[in-house]
Amino acid sequence: MSFRDHIVSCNNYDPGRVVPLFAGEDRVGLLRRDNAAALRRFPDVFAVADDRVSLVERGDVAAVSRAVDAVVDALVVEKRIPKSRNETFDVAPRWGAPVLFRLDRGAVPFFGTRAYGVHLNGYLWKAGTLHLWVGRRAPDKRVAPGKLDNLVAGGIGNGHGLEETLLKEGEEEASLAQSLTSHAVPAGAVSYRMENELGIRDDVLFVFDLEIPADFIPKNQDGEIVHFELMPASAVLDRVRTSEDFKFNVNLVILDFALRHGLLRPDHPEYLDVATGLHRPLD
């Protein structure tokens, strides 16, 4: 295992295995070819060609969302998509663009629409050494059960902006008061594009750093994290390098933190792999 291995794993996307999903002139998704073929049964909503799939349903956001959701329901019955997560993500051609429709979170990889999330590095200095709070995900999580995670992380769902999501997730996942989380410093974004068993994950993670008071002990409220541990940041980085203990995309967030805080130095043989591999160009 190496730092580069984690980056390559999160960027295993092969453009030859997908076709673009268009809404009008805008590409809004990346459909694996077998997923695209499954949409031929729904010609009132999707037009499937050899080289692209087009959303043909017309109407406002609510109307298009209902039509797509009916397709999702049918695909859930066919077990092509996991059970609905009762949470929707906005679908738009780019960050900040008008929303075209809303998609059940469980269906996002099937359609390959871009998803956005927030990740918070909770750090503090202890006896002159930089430490990071690390959580362990619950064993019943559908994605990466039992893996290690950032102090706070969550997807930006419909109806919640970036800052609101950060504050909400901070309270739910670590009992961070909003008055504390509001001091988190935005530190950029990590992006990757990977294929998994469901389809394509085209993800952007907004990264925040927050210095945690020495007397604060995180406590989970929503059942998603079963345990927190304060670890020396150098030990966290070594764990990334030598194992697959962390959730796949959390490895990237930690590597980004390591670059910015000088834990990974330019003379390290993988420095350039990490520095250039965490930010996939968005198209």
The full DSSP string for 247-282 is -HHHHHHHHHHHHHTTSS-TTSTTHHHHHHHSBPPP
Is residue 218 classed exposed, middle or buried when 0-12, 13-18 and 19+ CB atoms within 10 A define those classes? buried
The better pLDDT of the pair 160, 262 is held by 262
Listed residue (19, 13, 14, 46) closest to 34, CA to CA: 19
Q: Is the pLDDT of residue 282 over 80?
A: no
| For the chain, percent of residues with pLDDT exceeding 70 | 100
pTM across the whole model: 0.96
Q: Note the Cα 187 to chain centre separation in Å.
A: 16
pLDDT at 93 over 90: yes
On the 0-12 / 13-18 / 19+ scale of CB atoms within 10 A, 273 is middle
At residue 280, the pLDDT reads 86
Q: Is 128 helix (H, G, I), strand (E, B) or coil?
A: coil
Q: What mean pLDDT comes out for the span 144-162?
A: 95
Q: What is the pLDDT of residue 55?
A: 98
Nearest-angstrom CA–CA distance, 156 and 27: 20
Does residue 85 surpass a pLDDT of 80?
A: no
**For residue 55, what are the CA distances in angstroms to 64, 82, 226?**
9, 22, 41
Residue 143 pLDDT greater than 80, yes or no? yes
pLDDT of residue 120: 98
Residue labelled with tokens 């049964």: 41
Residues above pLDDT 90, as percent of the chain: 96
C-alpha to C-alpha distance for 104 and 150, rounded to whole angstroms? 24
User: What is the edge-to-edge ordering of all strands in the sheet holding 53-55?
Assistant: 26-32, 18-23, 53-55, 46-48
Mean of the pLDDT values across residues 141-150?
96
Q: Give yes or no for residue 283 having a pLDDT over 80.
A: no
Give the pLDDT band of residue 70 (cuts 50, 70, 90). Answer: very high
248-263 per-position pLDDT tens digit: 999 999 999 999 999 9
Cβ distance 178 to 170 under 8 Å?
A: yes
Residue 40 has pLDDT above 80, yes or no: yes
At residue 196, the pLDDT reads 97
* β-bridge pairing 185-195 and 101-104: unpaired
Residue 66 has pLDDT above 80, yes or no: yes
- Read off the pLDDT of each residue in 41-58 and give the average, rounded to a whole number: 98
Asked if residues 180 and 135 have their Cβ atoms less than 8 Å apart, the reply is no
Q: How confident is the model at residue 83, as a pLDDT?
A: 79
Torsion, Cα of 224, 280, 261, 209 (10° steps) = -40
Residue 159: what pLDDT?
81
Domains of the chain, earliest start first: 3-11+115-277 (3.90.79.10), 15-113 (3.30.750.160)
**Angstrom distances, CA of residue 183 to CA of 116, 174, 197, 210:** 21, 15, 38, 7
